[in-house]
Structure 1
Amino acid sequence: MSLVEAHREAFSLKHQLEPKEINNKQHLLVIGSAADDSLISSVDYWKKSGISIDFLPYRIYELAGEKYFEFFALPYDKHKNPSDVKGVLFDTNRSWNEDSIWSMMDNSRLEAYGDAKRFVHHVHIGDIVFFSHKWCGLIAAAKVKGEVKAPDSETLYRDVEFLTPIPNRNDNTLLAMPFSEVSSKTGKSFFWARTIKVPYLTKSEALELVDELNNYLHRT
């Protein structure tokens, strides 16, 4: 079988392409260490120069004597050291349970449920979490202060200390910073479909967003 015939069969094309039409555009994926700043800078330079290229980082680290390998898919964060404080946008589970938000607000907790409960392990004591409420925006920010706890087989949570006003279920309107404004303030495009909205924020970026959120909630 010729290359053009194999290509037509592999991609279920009605007509085979001319040889000159095959492979006339390439996209390069560079896989490397998240700590390799020179490689990341090079990829950024090539991208700005018009080359179709992306960087997919990985990192290897040790926690409590256990070694871990972590691989990122796009969009990825450049958070290199898991022990560093980071900012995380975390979903309130509105798609599945309208009352989940009030369990978190009333008890000062960050909670996740079912298959998504594992994401509670992705934040650590000292991290800053932003509660992302579907169809609304960011409703509050808090600092993680507790270890992971399991009140039942379907739930994991961490205790938090709020850094912004705490929403009240008795209020007529739930105040929230729209997602579009969050992206505008941070200069980042987030993957909103996930429980954790990557990319992460650095500590300084997270503190700046806390200030912006406080200003927004107080003037609204």
Structure 2
Amino acid sequence: MLFELNRDNPSKSARIAIKQAGELQIKEKVIEDFLVANLMELLPEEQLMILGQERSWQEEADILALDRNGVLYIFELKRWQSSSENLLQVLRYGQKFGRFSYEKLQTQARRMGDKDIVLQLAHQRHFDLKEPLAEEAFNVEQRFVVVTNGVDEDTLEAIQYWYEKGIKIESLTYKLYEIGGNSFLQFETFNPEKQLILETNPGTFIVNTNSTYMSDAWKDMLNDGKTGKASAYYDKKGAVRKITKGSTVFLYHNGRGVVACGKAQSEYQSCDYDGNKDAEYFVALKFDWALPNQEEWNAKAVKAWEINGKTGASNRFRQTVFNASAEMAKAIQDLWHEKAKTQ
């Protein structure tokens, strides 16, 4: 629920009515495009690994994702007028993708950009597992998620009915509001592991150098150690859009630590990557400090365990882009200066 707070008389605070897209003259395609563009906010990377997205003219779910146990999540962002069409479409996808072997899932992953990716190893790196999952452990179980408007009562009731019958299907709802003539959309991050997920304001960011999928991307980001960029690619490129000019950006390399800190010199920009049009989004950076020489990483990079030890947290640092708290930013800077003094 959303209220307009009456500071003088809180008991008379007015509740803001939830709207349907039609009431606001918003086409369903606009909602779809918004949700797809904000996937990094919708799905937590530390809990789910995106395996595929819908391609034009193909009978595919909007999003396929794997959790750390190899469970396949099937997301449907579209919303038809009747609940039966919503659920029948999702269940058809379940029938299709639930039969996928490990090899077919790997083929699906390779369509995301890296044609040589080994799904077992990419999954192990993504979730920082001690051992890769066995091939037969992938896609043993499927779960279905329908992304729907919070006032779509028929769909929500149908989901509840089938869930009670043992079908692992649930809803992820968004809500539309109109305030002062402007349209607002509210949604919560999907949280399959039921972890504590705090919403933070933008300003300081950790950007992963994407070594899991592109082993040399860090070289382009770090450049000469004076200026560089923070980039994301293909389906994850939208994560960079939240970084605004003037933001502090730390670059993190999986397994090695934070290797650079800089200030964003621009809003996000797009460019082609590996022959694919607009496949990379980036913000230009001017570095406060950076380690462009990989030989320095062992001694100088600020390790994840060091940061977590100093803050008492348990961050995984594998998301494409995530907000860093003021406490985390200070810990990284303090650790860097300690290392710089001793070298």
Change (3 A) 1:76 1:217: farther
Structure 2: unaligned runs, 5 residues or longer: 1-173, 273-277
- Give 2:198's aligned residue: 77
- Find out whether 1:215 has 2:338 as its counterpart: yes
Are the structure 2 counterparts of residues 119 and 216 from structure 1 closer, same or farther at C-alpha, using a change threshold of 3 Å? same
Equivalence map 1:194-209=2 (5 Å): 194-197=319-322, 200-203=323-326, 205-209=328-332
CA distance in 2, matches of 1:98, 1:218: 30
TM-score by length of 1: 0.59
**Aligned counterpart, 1:95:** 212
Q: Which secondary structure state, in structure 2, belongs to the residue aligned with residue 67 of structure 1?
A: strand
Matches within 5 A, 1:140-151: 140-151=260-271
Structure 2 vs 1, CA of residues 142 and 70 (structure 1 numbering), >3 Å: closer, same or farther? farther
Please state how far the C-alpha of 1:134 moved relative to its aligned partner.
0.8
The structure with higher relative contact order (CA 8 Å, sep 6+) is 1
The AA in structure 2 aligned to 1:76 is I
- Paired residue secondary structure (1:192): coil
Q: Which residue does the alignment assign to 1:167?
A: 291
The answer for the alignment partner of 2:230 in structure 1 is 110
Q: Note the residue ranges of structure 1 that are not aligned, 5 or more in a row.
A: 1-57
Residue equivalent to 2:102: none
Seen in structure 2, the aligned counterparts of structure 1 residues 120 and 172 have a Cα distance that, compared at 3 Å, is: same
C-alpha spacing 1:210/1:118, structure 2 compared with 1 (3 Å)? same
Deviation at 1:217, TM superposition (A): 3.9
Return the alpha-carbon distance in structure 1 between the equivalents of residues 228 and 198 of structure 2.
Answer: 27
Q: Does the Cα contact within 8 Å between 1:176 and 1:217 map onto a contact in 2?
A: no
Q: % of aligned pairs identical?
A: 21
1:191, CA displacement in angstroms?
A: 3.5
Number of residue pairs aligned between Structure 1 and Structure 2: 153
Instruction: Normalising by structure 2, report the TM-score.
Output: 0.39
CA distance in 1 between partners of 2:263 and 2:328 (Å): 14
* Cα 1:76–1:132 shift into 2, 3 Å: same
- Change in 2 beyond 3 A, CA 1:114/1:214: farther
Return closer, same or farther for 1:66/1:89 CA change in 2, 3 Å cut-off.
farther
Question: Measured at CA, do residues 66 and 155 of structure 1 come closer, stay the same or move farther in structure 2, by a change above 3 Å?
Answer: farther
**Do the aligned partners of residues 151 and 177 (structure 1) sit closer, same or farther apart at CA in structure 2, a change above 3 Å counting?**
same
Give CA deviations for 1:134-166 in whole Å, capped at 9, x if unaligned: 1111111122221111111210100122122x2
Offset of residue 207 of structure 1? 4.1
* 4+ runs deviating over 6 angstroms: 58-62
The CA RMSD measured in Å over matched residues stands at 3.0
Which residue is equivalent to 1:181? 306
Cα distance change, pair 88–188 in 1 and its aligned pair in 2 (3 A): farther
Q: Residues 254 and 318 of structure 2 are in contact (CA less than 8 Å); yes or no, is this contact kept in structure 1? A: no
Query: Contact conserved, 1:112 with 1:120, CA < 8 A, in 2?
Result: yes
